[in-house]
Structure 1
Amino acid sequence: MGIEDRKLDDRRVAFITCVNDEEWYSECRLYLEHLALPPGMTAEYIPVRGAASMCAGYNTGMRQSAAKYKVYLHQDTLVVNKHLVSDLKRIFSDASIGAVGVIGCRSLPKSGVWWDGLRTYGRVLHACEPESVVDSHCREPEGPYQEVEAVDGLFIATQYDLFWREDLFTGFHLYDTSACKEMQRRGLRVVVPNQEQEFWCIHCPKEKPLAAEYKGYQKIFVKEYGQELHPEV
């Protein structure tokens, strides 16, 4: 599962979303369409409906676009940073950076679950209930960004096309952490930006218990990547 070998257009950005709720997606899309684009850049919006898994859906979306910059985001993620594309281009000017997320952890624990990591970085506003907004604010990078081992899948931007591991992750869990490890296997870095002044995203997930199948995907993750984890103690 290597890098897709084709010429990518650095004047294009694609926003790829797996969709099963049209109302949420239209809200998500509204925010995306109001982002400021750097001169000469165009945006593409790629909804993927009926995806068998997050990885399968993202691979479908990835193949539909030759944009160098791709943003994979949940349908209930609202991007409020109007200068997102300029900020991403600035970060991606370092060719060693493969992916940018908004929240994640410096080192994954043995469980492979990023939020159990000792040092978490980033910031997301969570609006789980209509009247309640929680500012999930972890550590801030000391500079413009912090290198991490994994980021959350609510928002992942890339500048290289790497296949999502649909052979392993056939559902909707741990696809994001796997994508980060695949980047690192190719010597690419994953980072979280400094959001001290301005947060990038509002996430509006429904509060629900962790799905029963999560543990199964956790086992798959640990079997595939466990030898590559170096947890902090």
Structure 2
Amino acid sequence: MMTEQLTRPLDAHKVAFITCVNDAHWYDECRLYLEALHLPAGMTAEYLPVRGAASMCAGYNEAMMRSEAKYKVYLHQDTLVVNKRLVADLLAIFADAAIGAVGVIGCRSLPRSGVWWDGLRTYGRVLHACEPESVVDSHCREPEGAYQAVEAVDGLFIATQVDLRWREDLFTGWHLYDTSECMEMQRHGYEVVVPNQAKDFWCIHCPKEKPLAASYKKYQKIFLQEYGAELHPEV
């Protein structure tokens, strides 16, 4: 089964920032950074927090349907966007209609596990601030040009220019929803890319260090049942 692409008219002069929220403090901080971004002439922005979502996919689908913005940025509440030229940079990448989604870190080819960070060639960059006074620059390979096509990106930040429903029928929790959406993009013939961040990183991510939830394995199994035959891991 392939998810549907919504074909309603979208506003090419608007960008929507969509976030599932369960911590007001973190979302307030996230929102401060978003509202400080420069908007190119003629562009407007809207901010859509989703509270009480049953799952990441359900929350994202709800907000997607509420917004007529062509460009949507789905980001975690603890992601701080520091690239002030973000919107202009996204518009430049999305000038190629073949590109459906942009992330900031991911892998060229998914391994058999379906877990992007296990991939042989990872691309992108994120500044991780997991603990006070502990900041790690997670810097993978850089694209040779403006961006690199990848198979999957991390859900801390995913920007899109097409509306494909998130697979809330399969991913009823908080894991693998991002890799699934990347696979759906490719099923519809769209590329997923990571931008060149050699000069500076786009995002700071501030997650709490914790072991993978027990439910991760459950969704990993669901992911592999749905997409396993489509994976072509590098060896």
TM over 0.5: yes
Look up the SS of the partner of 1:47 in the other structure.
Answer: strand
Q: In the alignment, which residue of structure 2 is the partner of 1:9?
A: 11
How far does residue 198 in structure 1 lie from its aligned partner after superposition?
A: 1.1
Q: In the alignment, which residue of structure 2 is the partner of 1:82?
A: 84
Paired amino acid for 1:145:
Y
Q: Distance in 2 between matches of 1:166 and 1:231?
A: 26
Residue number among 105, 111, 115 corresponding to 2:107 in the alignment: 105
Q: Distance in 2 between matches of 1:146 and 1:41?
A: 26
Paired amino acid for 2:130:
C
How far does residue 130 in structure 1 lie from its aligned partner after superposition?
A: 1.0
1:232 aligns with 2:234: yes
Paired amino acid for 2:230:
E
Q: Distance in 2 between matches of 1:18 and 1:114?
A: 22
Residue number among 20, 23, 43 corresponding to 1:21 in the alignment: 23
Please give the per-residue CA displacement for 1:74-101, whole angstroms capped at 9, x wherever unaligned: 0000000000000000000000000000
1:184 aligns with 2:186: yes
Q: Distance in 2 between matches of 1:64 and 1:195?
A: 31
Count of equivalent residues: 233
Q: Distance in 2 between matches of 1:198 and 1:53?
A: 32
1:69 aligns with 2:105: no
Give the % identical residues.
80
Q: In the alignment, which residue of structure 1 is the partner of 2:148?
A: 146
1:191-210 correspondence to structure 2 within 5 Å: 191-210=193-212
- After superposing on structure 2, the runs of 4+ consecutive aligned residues of structure 1 that deviate more than 2 Å are none
Q: In the alignment, which residue of structure 1 is the partner of 2:119?
A: 117
Q: In the alignment, which residue of structure 2 is the partner of 1:36?
A: 38
Q: Distance in 2 between matches of 1:134 and 1:35?
A: 23
1:147-186 correspondence to structure 2 within 5 Å: 147-186=149-188
Q: Distance in 1 between matches of 2:30 and 2:66?
A: 20
TM-score by length of 1: 1.00
Which runs of 5 or more residues in structure 2 are unaligned?
A: none
Q: Distance in 2 between matches of 1:141 and 1:11?
A: 28
How far does residue 4 in structure 1 lie from its aligned partner after superposition?
A: 1.2
Please give the per-residue CA displacement for 1:79-124, whole angstroms capped at 9, x wherever unaligned: 0000000000000000000000000000000110000000000000
Please give the per-residue CA displacement for 1:7-61, whole angstroms capped at 9, x wherever unaligned: 0110000000000000000000000000000001000000000000000000001
Q: Distance in 1 between matches of 2:201 and 2:113?
A: 28
Q: In the alignment, which residue of structure 2 is the partner of 1:91?
A: 93
Look up the SS of the partner of 2:135 in the other structure.
Answer: strand
Paired amino acid for 1:135:
D
Q: Distance in 1 between matches of 2:90 and 2:100?
A: 11
Residue number among 219, 223, 226 corresponding to 2:225 in the alignment: 223
CA-based RMSD of the aligned residues comes to 0.3
Look up the SS of the partner of 1:160 in the other structure.
Answer: coil
Q: Distance in 1 between matches of 2:123 and 2:212?
A: 22
